Amino acid sequence: MSEWLVHPGLLLVLGAFALPWLRGGARSAAVLALPLAALFCLWQLPEGALWRAQWLGYELAPLSVDKLSRLFATIFALMACGGGLFALRQQSRLEIPAAYVYAGSAIGVALAGDLVTVFVFWELMAVGSTLVLWSAGTAQAWAASRRYVMIHLLGGVVLFAGITGHLLDTGDAAFVRMAPDSVAHWLILIGFLINAGAPPLSAWLPDAYPEASWSGTVFLSAFTTKTAVYVLLRGFPGTEFLIWIGLFMVFYGIVYALLENDMRRILAYSIVNQVGFMIAGIGIGTEMALNGAAAHAFTHIVYKALLLMSAGAVLAATGRRKCSELGGLFHSMPLTTICGSIGALAISSFPLTSGFVSKSMVTQAAIDGHLLWVWLALAAASAGVFLHAGIKFPWFVFFQKDSGLRPSDPPASMRWAMIAFAFLCIALGVWPEPLYRLLPYAVDYVPYTAAHVLTQLQLLLFSGLAFFVMLPWLKRTPTLTLDVDWLWRTPLPALARGAGHAHRRLRDGLAARAGTFAARLAAGIRRHREPDGLLLRSWPTGGMALWVMTMLLAWLVLYYLP
Amino acid sequence: MKPHWLDEPKNVKLLWRLFLAVLAATVLAELAIALHPHFEVESLFGFHAWYGFAACAAMILAAKGLGLLLKRPDSYYEADGDE
């Protein structure tokens, strides 16, 4: 048995370093085989803490498996494989290896039994994802990657401080359920939430992801936010204020996506929106809600990758990403249109798609908990998802007014990646049983009841009606919308430039002043060291005799004093 | 080249009629299917239909309002030395 104890995450991370040495068919085979090998190794692992180590007196478990970690590691490996297939024709030789380091470390987080291992893989993810962003090779991607890595290193520092505090408080490194009851745990929670794209720092996500290459964004969409969902599921289930964070993210994502013109930024905002559903589920914290959050993370990775693949295919074919410049592509890209629309239906939780079976569990948990307002908000948000991702994205990109562009469907590798993920979206929606068996708790939920299907159809179709009725209000304009990232893109750099300027002036002023002072001091010393100066001139004898007499007199007076 | 069938106004009108018929059908189906409402508000007739519509209208209006404040030309960040 023990010979199978290969760490699937490390396999992917180390395997990534072999990729740059391969060419042609061997490289393609390795790209596809590596994640599949990781998946195979993962399923050979029994449950429990498999690796143990001692470090500074703490007990570490770098490889430990249970149902929840196996679920996330499985979808991460599948995603790496699908993304690798989609990216096979990518010119950049850096992107896939970087993406595999990124995916492998995400698997590492999922299989980590202690907080130290979580932190190590967490930081490795930041490195891998930044390299994926870099490999796009444009000036915008470079600027965005610097902002991106800054936020993630900040999050890493906060997490590190939290973990250190936790180790000191408890003396135990095991990654177990925590509650926000101490400074250390708050810091850990904040570190996790930054990667989840939670407010107020959610802007890093729509700022960075759309700047990656046509294939890079597909990788980026999958791992960072979903590992954050995973660690929140394990570390902070049932933390009530996460419900409100989640609901904020849900509506933030919708409203910003409605304002957005860039097709990939629309999809990036809808990542925040979908992660909001998961975080709300974690906040509700019942078994049904946690199952729903985990299942939704699983299905979300698949349909979001599919949506970004279709957007990537459009970008690769046309070089354009603004809705106001696209449209009418269904004429010449039928396969991309169909796959993109399947992804759009899945994200909107249409019956017979994967989103329907996973998101329903979260809303059902709100109903079971009698949380009327939460449920109303989640229902409104479900309608809103159809609005911004379900219709807006396919409508403006593939239909609406004809842009006159006639690009053809992408090459075979990209087509097959889209077909495979579109198949998964439908298959998980029609046969949810295999997914349910992977979930951490036993599933006692039937999504396909006549009542549920009907109410969901009403909700979605009438939001579709709202879209078409209010279409003039949704006309695309060549604009962007200010977000919190404005703070670190405009006033903070200006402040830093201003401060730098002031600092330079102060420094120059001080240096000039110090220079004159030193010169004056030197001149003074020199003057006093000249033959007639204070230090070198000879003293007259008369003067000496006078001082000696004064001293003697003083001594005499002191002697006769009582 | 023959125009695509989706490009003909006649067919678009047909699609609209079909869509409206489906909408009406989903609401009328409530008469035949028991919905097991959990919250009181759910038992209002066609709740999910008008709630979905109203929620979407509200979100579009909210986005529109926010857009007035926060929209900028998409060359906004290029100006300030983003390299």
DSSP of A230-288: HHHHHH-TT-THHHHHHHHHHHHHHHHHHH--BHHHHHHHHHHHHHHHHHHHHHH-SHH
Q: Which residues of A touch B76 (CB under 8 A)?
A: 480
Cβ contact, residue pair A490, B80, below 8 Å: yes
Strands (E) located in B3-81: 71-73
Q: How far is CA A271 from CA A222, A267, B61, in A?
A: 9, 6, 22
User: Residues 17..76 of B with a Cβ closer than 8 Å to A: which?
Assistant: 19, 22-23, 26-27, 29-30, 33-36, 38-39, 41, 46, 48-53, 55-60, 62-64, 66-67, 70-74, 76
Read off the tokens for A54: 């001692």
The answer to whether A334 contacts chain B (CB < 8 Å) is no
Across the interface, of B46, B53, B82, the residue whose CB is closest to A466 is B53
The packing angle between helices A450-469 and B9-28, to 10°, is 140
What ipTM was estimated for this complex? 0.88
DSSP secondary structure code for residue A387 in this structure: I
- The predicted structure's pLDDT at residue A154: 93
Residue A130 to residue A208: CA distance in whole angstroms: 9
- The predicted structure's pLDDT at residue A1: 45
Read off the tokens for A149: 């890595």
pTM, two decimals, is 0.87
The answer to whether A488 contacts chain B (CB < 8 Å) is no
Cβ contact, residue pair B4, A255, below 8 Å: no
Residue A374 to residue A442: CA distance in whole angstroms: 24
Cβ contact, residue pair A479, B39, below 8 Å: no
DSSP secondary structure code for residue A390 in this structure: I
Residue B43 pLDDT > 70, yes or no?
Answer: yes
Question: Which residue of A lies nearest to B40 if distances are taken between CA atoms?
Answer: A372
- Looking at residue B64, its amino acid is K
Cβ contact, residue pair A379, B52, below 8 Å: yes
To test the contact with chain A by mutation, choose from B48, B50, B75, B80 the residue with the greatest count of A C-beta atoms within 10 A, namely: B48
Query: Nearest CA to A208 among A199, A197, A200?
Result: A197
Token look-up 């299907």 returns A453
Cβ contact, residue pair B38, A399, below 8 Å: no
- The predicted structure's pLDDT at residue A33: 93
pLDDT by 10s per residue, chain A, length 562: 445 588 999 999 999 999 988 888 899 999 999 999 999 999 998 888 888 888 888 888 889 999 999 999 999 999 999 999 999 988 888 999 999 999 999 999 999 999 999 999 999 999 999 999 999 988 889 999 999 999 999 999 999 999 999 999 998 888 989 999 999 999 999 999 999 999 888 889 999 999 999 999 999 999 999 999 999 999 999 999 999 999 999 999 999 999 988 999 999 999 999 999 999 999 999 999 999 999 999 999 999 999 999 999 999 999 888 888 888 888 889 999 999 999 999 999 999 999 999 999 999 999 999 999 999 999 999 999 998 888 889 999 998 878 888 888 888 999 999 999 999 999 999 999 999 999 999 988 888 988 889 999 999 999 999 998 888 888 877 788 888 888 888 888 888 889 999 999 999 999 999 999 999 999 988 888 777 777 677 777 888 889 999 999 999 898 888 6
Cβ contact, residue pair A470, B22, below 8 Å: no
To test the contact with chain B by mutation, choose from A256, A360, A385, A455 the residue with the greatest count of B C-beta atoms within 10 A, namely: A455
The answer to whether A384 contacts chain B (CB < 8 Å) is yes
Q: What is the 3-state secondary structure (H, E, C) of A111-133?
A: CCCEHHHHHHHHHHHHHHHHHHH
**Helix (H, G, I), strand (E, B), or coil: what is residue A335?**
helix
Residue A426 to residue A430: CA distance in whole angstroms: 6
Token look-up 């610097």 returns A146
User: H or E stretch including A328?
Assistant: none
Cβ contact, residue pair B26, A457, below 8 Å: yes
- The predicted structure's pLDDT at residue A4: 57
Pick left, alpha or beta for residue A441 (phi over 0 → left; psi -120 to 50 → alpha; otherwise beta): beta
Cβ contact, residue pair B52, A463, below 8 Å: yes
To test the contact with chain B by mutation, choose from A375, A461, A490 the residue with the greatest count of B C-beta atoms within 10 A, namely: A461
Token look-up 């850096």 returns A94
Cβ contact, residue pair A481, B4, below 8 Å: no
How close does chain B come to A33, measured CA to CA in Å? 39
Across the interface, of A139, A387, A477, the residue whose CB is closest to B59 is A387
Query: Nearest CA to A272 among A198, A358, A350?
Result: A198
To test the contact with chain A by mutation, choose from B6, B53, B75 the residue with the greatest count of A C-beta atoms within 10 A, namely: B53
Q: What pairs with residue A322 in β-bridges? A: A262
Judge whether A283 and A241 are in contact, CB under 8 Å: yes
Residue A134 to residue A213: CA distance in whole angstroms: 9
The answer to whether A470 contacts chain B (CB < 8 Å) is yes
CA atoms within 13 A on the CB side of A526: 6
Q: Which residues of A touch B24 (CB under 8 A)?
A: none
Cβ contact, residue pair A462, B53, below 8 Å: yes
- The predicted structure's pLDDT at residue B39: 86
Residue A390 to residue A337: CA distance in whole angstroms: 13
